[in-house]
Amino acid sequence: MRNSRGGFTLIELMVSISILAIMMVFLYKSYASLNRTNKIYKKEVTLIKDEEMKKKVIYLDFSLALHKSIKIINQDKREDIVFFQSSNSLHKRYNPYIAYIMKDKKLYRLESLTKFKEYPLSNDMEFTIDYFGKVNSFRIYKSTKIIDKKPVETYLVHINFKNKDDILLKIKVLNQY
């Protein structure tokens, strides 16, 4: 309905504003829902990325370990300590010495330029610590097979995290000869 001057009536304007307001409410709800979903996805992607990075570090540490350098120290049925030298470094060191240590149900990766010889570690050692998370158990199992008349070392790494999925990796040492 138009008045004689060619404009809209007050009723027509009120109806159109009401329809626009209802559309804006639905658009806002959709936008808010999208933001919540994006936050959830971002958190999940971050957790997956963190877990994959840990797997990658462990895999590279063990697969690039130097020949016969891996020493496993069994503490109890849930805890192993492992010392070795690897060509993988997170802190830009050349063939660093690596240690995986579980202390107070937390797993740590240590990287140093000097060799780890015993546990507990001496106070004068310098190393960089990377925290891997809270764990129930950390175990390393060694297997040696003869292939083409040469021994081939394989390690099974099992990390049982408290509130995350387990990591179970079978790793063949590449630098064996």
What are φ and ψ of residue 167, in 5° steps? -110, 125
Domains of the chain, residue spans? 8-177
Provide the mean pLDDT of the chain: 91
In angstroms, the CA 130 to CA 145 distance is 32
Q: Largest Cα–Cα distance in the chain?
A: 104
Residue 6 in tokens = 């060619």
Task: Please report the pLDDT score of residue 97 as a whole number.
Answer: 96
pTM score: 0.79
In angstroms, the CA 154 to CA 173 distance is 6
> What confidence tier does 163 reach under pLDDT thresholds 50, 70, 90?
confident
In angstroms, the CA 47 to CA 55 distance is 12
Of all residues in the chain, what percent carry a pLDDT higher than 70? 95
Residue 111: pLDDT above 70? yes
| pLDDT tens string 126-160 | 999 999 999 999 999 999 888 888 888 899 999 99
Bridge partners (DSSP) listed for residue 72: 82
> What confidence tier does 39 reach under pLDDT thresholds 50, 70, 90?
very high
Q: What is the 3-state secondary structure (H, E, C) of 95-124?
A: CCEEEEEEECCEEEEEEECCCCCCCCCCCC
Residue 40: pLDDT above 60? yes
